[in-house]
């Protein structure tokens, strides 16, 4: 039998024992002593730490990816398709841990957890970007929120399609813009990867980034086939750091990027390559 939540396995007998002892003493008119605070304290600790406990457990015994997710990777992820078998195992292992270690919420009239396939589609960007890094969780960016359509936020009160908030460790997407950019990047801009590149830059601030680029928006269009206006309208912002867009292109159109911008490709390899 596979264990999906170690915290629940540990918590169940403590809960049952606490209720049973409490009921026994109450039904027999025995005053419940302060010692009962010990299992209650353990339950509180389990409740607070359940995410860390389960993540640690799954680093040792990872949950296999759903077959539908693996099929999606085989059909849509060029990066995954080109990996050797051992690296595909590494990819699936990291995706399983990322899905366990991060919170994904659908936001609307009420908040609810995202379906597993949408979680995996989003996560595929993070795993590809940090495939050669030890910290594939990308620092403290632990919450991903998804709206159905473009959204306003407290920091940006106009409608936009993606937002990366370093202070709150939060990435927000418009599902309407997210899925087409990942599944059909030749026609739509990949805001999924864009947000993770931005999160990377906000997390690893001391790295030597190629901010002074020997490239411009014409290079972006030559690589992606997408104009500056299309990309900005997809993002929902009037301006954006060109490095973030070029790094997104580096991951989304690797062969064309290397052919068009070989020097910058080397810089990206240095930045995102093996540590």
For the chain, domains (ranges, CATH) are 6-58 (no CATH), 67-272 (3.40.390)
> What span, in angstroms and rounded, lies between the C-alpha atoms of 175 and 104?
13
Q: Residue 153: how many CB atoms within 10 A of its CB?
A: 15
What is the residue-wise DSSP string for 108-162?
A: SSS-EEPPHHHHHHHHHHHHHHTTTSS-TT-TT--EEEEESS-B--SS--S-BSE
Looking at residue 8, its pLDDT comes to 62
Count the neighbouring beta carbons within 10 Å of the beta carbon of residue 215: 19
The candidate with the shortest Cα–Cα distance to 225, out of 274, 255, 265, 185, is: 185
User: Residue 125 and residue 118: Cα distance in Å, rounded?
Assistant: 12
Question: What pLDDT is recorded for position 64?
Answer: 72
Q: What's the whole-model pTM score? A: 0.80
pLDDT, the chain, mean = 86
Residue 131's pLDDT is 95
Using CA atoms, how far apart are residues 222 and 5, in angstroms rounded to an integer? Answer: 48
User: What pLDDT is attached to residue 60?
Assistant: 63
Tens digits of residue pLDDT in 111-139: 899 999 999 999 999 999 999 998 888 98
Q: Tell me the CB-side half-sphere exposure of residue 31, using CA atoms within 13 A.
A: 2
CA distance 19 to 16: 5
| Per-residue confidence (pLDDT) for residue 1, from 0 to 100 | 42
What is the mean pLDDT, run by run of 10 residues, along the chain of 275 residues?
Answer: 54 68 63 63 65 61 81 93 94 90 89 93 96 89 96 95 96 96 94 97 91 88 97 96 96 96 94 83
* 8 A C-beta contact, residue 89 and residue 196: no
Quickly count: other Cβ atoms within 10 Å of residue 21's Cβ: 15
Query: Per-residue DSSP letters for 211-273?
Result: -S-S--HHHHHHHHS--HHHHHHHHT-S---HHHHHHHHHHHSHHHHHHH-HHHHHHHHHHHS
Query: Of all residues in the chain, what percent carry a pLDDT higher than 90?
Result: 66
User: In terms of residues, how long is the chain?
Assistant: 275
Q: Please give the pLDDT value at position 244.
A: 96
Q: What is the C-alpha to C-alpha distance for residues 246 and 236, in angstroms, rounded to an integer?
A: 17
User: Residue 152 contacts by C-beta under 8 Å, 6 or more apart in sequence?
Assistant: 158, 159, 160
**Most distant CA atoms of the chain, gap in Å:** 82
55, two tokens: 């993540």
């Amino acid at each position: 039998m596979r264990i999906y939540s170690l915290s629940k396995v540990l918590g169940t007998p403590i809960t049952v024992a606490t209720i049973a002892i409490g009921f026994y003493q109450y039904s027999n008119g025995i005053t419940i002593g302060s010692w009962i605070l010990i299992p209650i304290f353990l339950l509180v600790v389990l409740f607070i730490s359940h995410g860390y406990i389960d993540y640690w457990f799954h680093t040792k015994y990872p949950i296999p990816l759903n077959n539908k997710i693996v099929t999606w990777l085989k059909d849509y992820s060029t990066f995954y398709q080109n990996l050797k078998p051992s690296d595909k195992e590494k990819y699936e292992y990291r995706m399983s841990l990322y899905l366990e270690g991060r919170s994904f919420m659908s936001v609307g009239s009420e908040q609810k957890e995202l379906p597993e396939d949408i979680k995996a589609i989003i996560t595929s960007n993070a795993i590809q970007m940090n495939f050669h890094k030890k910290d594939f969780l990308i620092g403290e960016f632990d919450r991903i929120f998804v709206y159905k359509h473009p959204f306003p936020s407290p920091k940006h009160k106009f409608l936009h399609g993606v937002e990366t908030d370093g202070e709150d460790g939060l990435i927000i997407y418009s599902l309407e813009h997210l899925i087409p950019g990942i599944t059909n990047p030749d026609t739509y801009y990949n805001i999924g990867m864009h947000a993770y590149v931005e999160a990377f830059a906000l997390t690893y601030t001391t790295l030597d980034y190629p901010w002074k680029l020997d490239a411009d928006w014409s290079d972006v269009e030559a690589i992606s086939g997408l104009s500056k206006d299309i990309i900005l309208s997809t993002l929902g912002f009037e301006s954006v750091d060109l490095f973030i867009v070029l790094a997104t292109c580096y991951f989304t159109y690797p062969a064309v990027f290397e052919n068009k911008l070989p020097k910058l490709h080397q810089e990206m390899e240095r930045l995102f390559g093996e540590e």
